[in-house]
Every structure is written in structure tokens, then in C-alpha cells.
Amino acid sequence: MPEPTLCCRAGGDYCDRCDLLVGLPGLHVIAVERDDRDRLVVMVESAAEAMGCRSCGVIVHGHGRVNVHLVD
């Protein structure tokens, strides 16, 4: 039986429980930590999936990721 307190991410996949807790559709939790000001920092990413142009259907490729800092 798996350890009940172990996050699913340890297996290499996204953790559905963490994603559900954060509640940001289309984004997956990859890390959670406290910063030096005792704020909770949650890092999320979108899953890599093939996408195409809506008009011509050509498959696009990524040009890297953009870091966006949101504060609530």
C-alpha cells in the first residue's frame, strides 16, 4: 500500500490532489515552499501538449517558459 502522506509527484506524474487543492484549471503543482518572508510559494506549470494553429493546423513548438509572479 502506498504511503498515504506521500505526494503523487514522487512517482514522476503530477499530483491530482495538489492540483485540486490549488484549483487552477490547466495548471499543475510542481513545488511548494516558504520564502524568507514566511510566504507560501506555489510553483505551477502547464502540461506540455501538442497544439496546432486553429486555421491551418500546423503544430507549434515552444520557445521556453515565462516566469509569472502572482501575489494574493
Helix (H, G, I), strand (E, B) or coil at 67: coil
42 contacts 22 by C-beta, under 8 angstroms: yes
Nearest one of 61, 7, 2 to 30, comparing CA atoms? 7
The pLDDT, as a whole number, for residue 1 is: 46
- pLDDT tens-digit profile of 25-63? 888 888 889 999 998 888 888 887 777 888 888 887 777
Quickly tell me which residue has 500546423 as its cell.
58
Segment 5-33 mean pLDDT: 77
